[in-house]
Amino acid sequence: MADTDNSDAFVAFERVQKSYDGESLVVKDLNLTMPKGEFLTMLGPSGSGKTTCLMMLAGFESATHGEIKIDGVSINNIPPHKRGIGMVFQNYALFPHMTIAENLSFPLEVRKIGKSDREKKIKRALDMVEMGDFGGRRPAQLSGGQQQRVALARALVFEPELVLMDEPLGALDKQLREKMQFEITDLAHNLGITTVYVTHDQTEALTMSDRVAVFDDGRIQQIDPPDVLYESPQNSFVAQFIGENNTMQGTVKQIQGKQCLVELDNGEEIDAAPVNVNKVGERTTISIRPERVEFNKERLHADAHTLKAEVLEFIYMGDIFRTRLRVAGKEDFIIKTRNAPDQRRLKPGEQIEIGWMPEDARALDA
Amino acid sequence: MSDVTDATTAKRGPTPDDGLRIADSKDSGPVLSADGTPLKKSLRRALRMEKLRALALIAPLLIFVMISFIIPIGEMLFRSVENQIVEDTIPDAVRELRQWDRDEDELPPEAVFEAMYHDLFTASEAKKHTRLGSRLNYEESGMSSLFRQSGRALDDLGDDYLDALEEIDPDWEEGTVWYEMMSGGEGAERDTELSSRVVGQISNLEETFLPDTDAFAPSQAISELLPRTAEAYTRFAVFEALVDERDITDRDPWENVYPALIADMKSADVSGYDGPHADMLRELKSNIDDFEAPNYKAAFAAIDEDWAAHETWATIKAHSVRYTNGYFLNAIDMKRTPDGAVSQPEDRQILVKLFQRTLKMSLIITGSCILLGYPVAWILANLPTGKANLLMILVLLPFWTSLLVRTSAWKVMLQQQGVINDTLVWLGLVGDDSRLIMMNNATGTIIAMTHILLPFMILPMYSVMQTINPSYLRAAKSLGATNWTAFWRVYFPQSIPGIGAGSILVFILAIGYYITPEIVGGTDGVFISNRIAYHISSSLNWGLAAALGSILLAVVLILYWAYDRIVGIDNVKLG
């Protein structure tokens, strides 16, 4: 599952474990490598171990077992202030008793950088986040978005090669968050810095990252670029966690190469792509994205299997239509259709048949 | 539905919307509410009810605090300038003394002595003359015994005159005769003006309110004929009737009426007088040349030679004002003299030194509390809640023990045969013959008070530190700061409000501390409050105690103000 190619690794976790109480592991056997310049997001529900991983990398938590390396050097015994890692905190952690300029000056002062150099770097960093005029203000005089920019500038002002961000956009409103997502990725790519970004917001993870590591139960469940993650989830947790998803339980009836036939619990049969199933008779969960469900029979293969469905609810959402169906005895089956001129609008009570391309429906672990 | 809507729009009664519309349509003039009254007025009316309700909620506490705290303290502080006792006790003498120019004349004129004689006689009958003596003794030692002794001796002068009067007519001794003569008999016109003036004087003297009833008023005729006698007798009569509640019709008057009678008779023309006992007066008048006019100056000098001293009278005059700065001058080791404020003699200058010591030691105690309390507060703030609560109980434990017990415990610890010295001797760090003196001096006070006031420092610091997000320290470290730099440049500045709050609290508590310095302070570890307590309970010089208290209060307020100017009181957080 995890990436094991170490040749161009800039950051590497090798068999890292972490326990707080000596009884249970918060992080279980973590292996992860990152090439230089990558924007990697750790995504997962709270308690999944993603923040602990970040804290271990930053040096605020020590690994119970295993090694963390930066540029091939183990940093297990290097204190946080010598690691040279920029960090953006969830609450920004801007020092309230210092002005913005003083906040930015702090990492430069402790590095004993001369005054004129400091001023130059501060100005460049502030200009970079479009906060050039705010140097004399105090953090409390700035809005949340402005504080966020300053926190970013402070983490970058001493030109670290690795920047860690711990849910930095969590406190912002939706519009600002979307704007900042774009700005942060832009900045990270332009400066060529390696970024580890922690979030529990899957949209954020998908839009910003080069690769996303999905955490659950102290393990990386899948680590892949956003499109692969979305379209080819490796297990039912990832499928559930990323994006909207319809699931159906059933038993594998036959497997033919990249296609299998699953008998649902109500006796109906449907096609799927076998991912985590190996043999006939195994229990499985079929996962299908709402936008890949087709109810126009002409667009399906002639020999495709279909399911009977009853329209329960039709929701007009502007750009798309969202329709809730009763399928195989369950009432939470969602399909999404584009609001195109020729698109048919389903009516509640209507009886239809739905189907899909076999490769879109993934037969995962039960 | 539409019908209903139409109906409401058709009926144009005053609604809030109308008010707004009217307000909008008029650009100038006050904004009106729906019923046409100015908006400000109706807002005020609406808020008044809320304010009254809020006031009613706090009223019980407010009244309690006013009655039990603010008024008594104000009354007490007022004593630092109040000096009515002199004028209340010897009102006429004080009035007469104003005429005396002490640079011109060695002694005051005879009128002063005469007034003093009658005033002191009244005061002595009311047993208030010793109180005045004590008051003046604060300023000039010897005054107390002078007044006490004079009160006893004043009768002599009157007795001599009475003996002589009896030789002319034995009736002069009869109380009934005196009453008839002074009251002028039934239906005589009364001198109520004199009567109410005397009632006022006796009220002041007794420090109670006496009703201005017709207890006694001399007849107008006798008051004009014998003014001194009438006044002296009226004082006697009013005092006996109102204060002692006796029947005065047959009581012998006080002895001071006899010299007054002789003095009056020397110049009075009694030939036309026809009131009761006019014959006695005429008989006395015919023999008046046998009497010597009373010489009060000589009489006082005979009682005590201090009465013939310039100093005595100058002191009385200097302190006869109703409001004095004398106590405040005393409080800063000076005194009010006839020649203005001068320093006390060297050996009596202790109060300024005590003030300085109080301030210095309070600062030291505050400093020790910061040094000892900061790490504790830091640990408390950074421990998990369970452990922090346990430690917090240990911090609060002293609060649940009596102050007296804690201080006494320190006595056991600190004394020369105490626990600490025994341990040090046992360890061999200190020789048995050179045990440390840690008690009955400033060291003892500082140690015990630091311990006792420590919780007041820890609690505000703890509550401020709790609010400092640990991510600040992490951020500082991730930015490259060492542990020390992160603490000193990021954590410490944010904890200053807690230090400030704790310091104000500890310093203000320390500056007024009393019990602990009293018990472990010895002589050079006592505070100004111990001196205040001494003047309240032992020397009974409440005026000086109040002045010292007022100065202490002023010092605290000034420091508070200075703190506000320098640090800003908004930066103080108690939690």
| pLDDT (tens digit per residue) in A78-132 | 999 888 899 999 888 999 999 999 999 999 999 999 999 999 999 999 998 888 8
pLDDT of residue B107: 86
B571 touches chain A (CB under 8 A): no
Distances (CA, A) of A56 to A49, A201, A209: 11, 21, 21
3-state secondary structure of A345: coil
**d(Cα B255, Cα A204) in Å, to the nearest integer?**
109
What's residue B24's pLDDT?
53
Measured in whole angstroms, the distance separating CA A233 from the mean position of its chain's CA atoms is 13
The three-state secondary structure class of A327 is strand
Q: Average pLDDT for residues B7-18, to the nearest whole number?
A: 47
State the Cα–Cα distance between residues B502 and B575, nearest whole angstrom.
Answer: 11
- Find the CB nearest A87 among B475, B490, B494: B475
- Cα separation, B411 vs B515, whole angstroms: 13
CA–CA distance, B441 with B517 (Å, rounded to integer): 9
The stretch B222-244 carries a mean pLDDT of 89
Would an 8 Å CB–CB cutoff place A182 in contact with chain B?
no
Task: Report the residue from B476, B478, B483 with minimal CB separation from A58.
Answer: B478
Task: Flag whether pLDDT at B12 surpasses 80.
Answer: no
Helix (H, G, I), strand (E, B), or coil: what is residue B292? coil
Chain B hits for A81, Cβ within 8 Å: 477-483, 486
Instruction: With a cut of 70, say whether residue A4 has pLDDT above it.
Output: no
Find the helix packing angle between B296-303 and B110-125, rounded to 10°. 60
Mutate to test the interface with B, among A20, A52, A54, A60 (most CBs of B within 10 A): A60
Interface check for B474 against chain A (CB to CB < 8 A): the answer is: yes
Query: How many beta carbons lie within 10 A of that of residue A349, not counting itself?
Result: 8
Question: A171 and chain B: CB distance < 8 Å anywhere?
Answer: no
The answer to whether the Cβ–Cβ distance between A111 and B480 falls below 8 Å is: yes
CA–CA dist B538, B163 (Å, integer)? 45
CB contact under 8 A, B479 and A91: no
- Element (H or E) spanning B191, and its range? none
Alpha-carbon dihedral sign for residues A215, A221, A225, A230: negative
Inter-residue contact B283 to B181 (CB < 8 Å): no
Query: In terms of Cα–Cα distance, which of A330, A327, A331 is closest to A355?
Result: A327
Q: Taking a C-beta distance cutoff of 8 angstroms, is the pair B262, B235 a contact?
A: no
What residues of B are in contact with residue A106 (Cβ under 8 Å)?
476, 479, 481, 489-490
Chain A CB contacts of B481 below 8 Å: 81, 106-107, 110
Q: What are the φ and ψ backbone dihedral angles of B345, each rounded to 5 degrees?
A: -60, 150
B382 touches chain A (CB under 8 A): no
Residue A59, token pair as written in the block:
């040096």
Q: pLDDT at position A241, please?
A: 87
Query: Does the pLDDT of residue B3 top 80, yes or no?
Result: no
Q: Which residues of chain B lie closer than 8 angstroms to A84, CB-CB? A: 480
Query: Which of B472, B477, B479 should be substituted to probe chain A, the one whose Cβ sees the most A Cβ atoms within 10 Å?
Result: B479
Lowest mean pLDDT: which of B21-35, B144-158, B506-520? B21-35
Strands (E), chain A: 9-18, 27-35, 39-43, 65-70, 73-74, 85-88, 162-166, 194-199, 211-216, 219-224, 246-256, 259-264, 269-274, 283-288, 307-316, 320-327, 330-338, 351-354, 362-364
- Nearest Cα neighbor of B366 from B202, B239, B509, B242 is B509
Find the largest Cα–Cα distance for chain B. Answer: 121
Phi, psi of A266 (to 5 degrees): -95, 5
Cβ-based contacts of A86 with chain B (< 8 Å): 478-479
Q: Is the pLDDT of residue A28 over 60?
A: yes
What angle do the packed helices B442-466 and B385-396 form, to 10 degrees? Answer: 150
State the best of A89, A104, A112, A158 to mutate against chain B, taking most chain B CBs within 10 Å.
A89
Give the number of A-B residue pairs with CB atoms closer than 8 Å.
Answer: 67
Is pLDDT above 50 for B159? yes
- Statement: residue A228 has pLDDT above 70: yes
pLDDT at B17: 53
**B346 or A109, which is more confident?**
A109
A356 HSE (CA, 13 A, CB side): 23
pLDDT of residue B6: 44
Unique residue bearing structure tokens 């003006």: B193
Summarised one tens digit per residue, pLDDT across range A230-247 is: 888 888 888 888 888 888
pLDDT recorded at residue B8: 42
If 0-12 CB within 10 Å is exposed, 13-18 middle and 19+ buried, where does residue B487 land? middle
Confidence at residue B189, expressed as pLDDT on a 0 to 100 scale = 85
Residue of A nearest to B489 (CA): A106
pLDDT above 70 as % of chain B: 93
Q: Name the average pLDDT for chain B.
A: 85
Q: Are A58 and B474 in contact (CB < 8 Å)?
A: yes
Strand partners, A87: A164
Q: Using 50, 70 and 90 to split pLDDT, how confident is the model at B430?
A: confident
Q: Which residues pair with A17 in a beta bridge?
A: A65
- Best mean pLDDT range from B12-16, B335-339, B525-529: B525-529
Asked if A91 is an interface residue toward chain B (Cβ–Cβ < 8 A), one would say yes
- How big is the CA angle at A317 (ends A314 and A322), to the nearest 5 degrees? 40
| Per-residue pLDDT at B11 exceeds 50 | no
Q: Is B474 in contact with A81 (Cβ distance < 8 A)? A: no
Q: What is the mean pLDDT of residues B395-414?
A: 86
* Residues on chain A touching B499 (C-beta within 8 angstroms): none
pLDDT at residue B22 in the model: 52
Bridge partners of A41? A197, A212
How does strand A65-70 pair with strand A73-74?
antiparallel
Q: What's the confidence (pLDDT) of residue A232? A: 85
A81 touches chain B (CB under 8 A): yes
Residue of A nearest to B482 (CA): A81
**Distance between CA B80 and CA B175 in Å, rounded?**
44
> Which of B479, B482, B494 lies nearest to residue A96, judging by beta carbons?
B494
> Given the DSSP bridges, would you call strands A307-316 and A320-327 parallel, antiparallel or unpaired?
antiparallel
If you write DSSP's letter for every residue of B80-101 in order, what string do you get?
TTB-HHHHHHSHHHHHHHTT--
Rounded distance between C-alpha atoms, residue A295 and residue A307, angstroms? 10
Of B469, B474, B480, the CB nearest to A158: B480
Is 0.95 exceeded by the ipTM?
A: no
**CA distance linking residue B381 with residue A290, whole number of Å:** 50
Kindly state the greatest CA–CA separation across chain A: 77
Question: Does the pLDDT at position B490 exceed 90?
Answer: yes
CA atoms within 13 A on the CB side of B474: 21
3-state secondary structure of B2: helix
**Structure tokens given for B479:** 């930015």
Give me the pLDDT at residue A307, please: 87
**Rounded mean pLDDT of A34-40?**
92
Secondary structure tally for chain B: helices H, strands E: 30, 2
Which member of A91, A107, A158 has the closest CB to residue B469?
A91
Distance of CA A203 to the CA centre of its chain: 7
Burial grade of B512 (CB within 10 A; 0-12, 13-18, 19 or more):
middle
What secondary structure does DSSP assign to A253-289, as a single string? EEEETTEEEEEETTS-EEEEEESS--STT-EEEEEE-
- Split at pLDDT 50, 70, 90, the class of B500 is confident
> Hey, what are B528's tokens?
């100004």
Q: How far is CA A111 from CA A126, B4, B488, in A?
A: 19, 77, 16
d(CA B287, CA A305): 155
Facing residue for B478 by CB, picked from A87, A90, A97: A87
At B278-303, the pLDDT tens digits run 888 888 888 888 888 888 888 888 88
Max mean pLDDT among A162-166, B339-343, B571-575 falls in A162-166
Say yes or no: A168 contacts chain B, CB-CB below 8 A: no
The candidate with the shortest Cα–Cα distance to B157, out of B245, B256, B81, is: B256
Residue A313, min C-alpha distance to chain B (Å): 31
**Structure-block tokens of residue B493:** 């500045």
- Quote the CA–CA distance of B214 and B148 in Å, as a whole number: 33
Q: Which residues of A touch B475 (CB under 8 A)?
A: 87, 89, 93, 95
The predicted pLDDT at position B359 comes to 92
Q: Does A110 touch chain B (CB under 8 A)?
A: yes
Q: What distance in Å separates residue B8's CA from the closest CA in chain A?
A: 37
Provide, as residue numbers in chain B, all residues whose Cβ is less than 8 Å from the Cβ of A89: 471, 474-475
Using the predicted structure, report yes or no on whether residue B7 has a pLDDT greater than 50: no
Domains and CATH numbers, chain B: 2-78 (no CATH), 88-154+296-343 (no CATH), 169-290 (no CATH), 351-571 (1.10.3720.10)
* Beta strand spans in A189-239 (E): 194-199, 211-216, 219-224
Rounded Cα–Cα distance for residues B259 and B158 (Å): 6
Chain A residue whose CA is closest to B494: A97
Question: Quick check: B476 and A80 CB within 8 A?
Answer: no
pLDDT of residue B376: 93
Nearest to A320 by CA among A253, A244, A213: A244
Amino acid, res. A280: V
Average pLDDT over residues B247-275: 86
A97 contacts B477? CB cut-off 8 A: no
Computed over every residue of chain A, the mean pLDDT equals 88
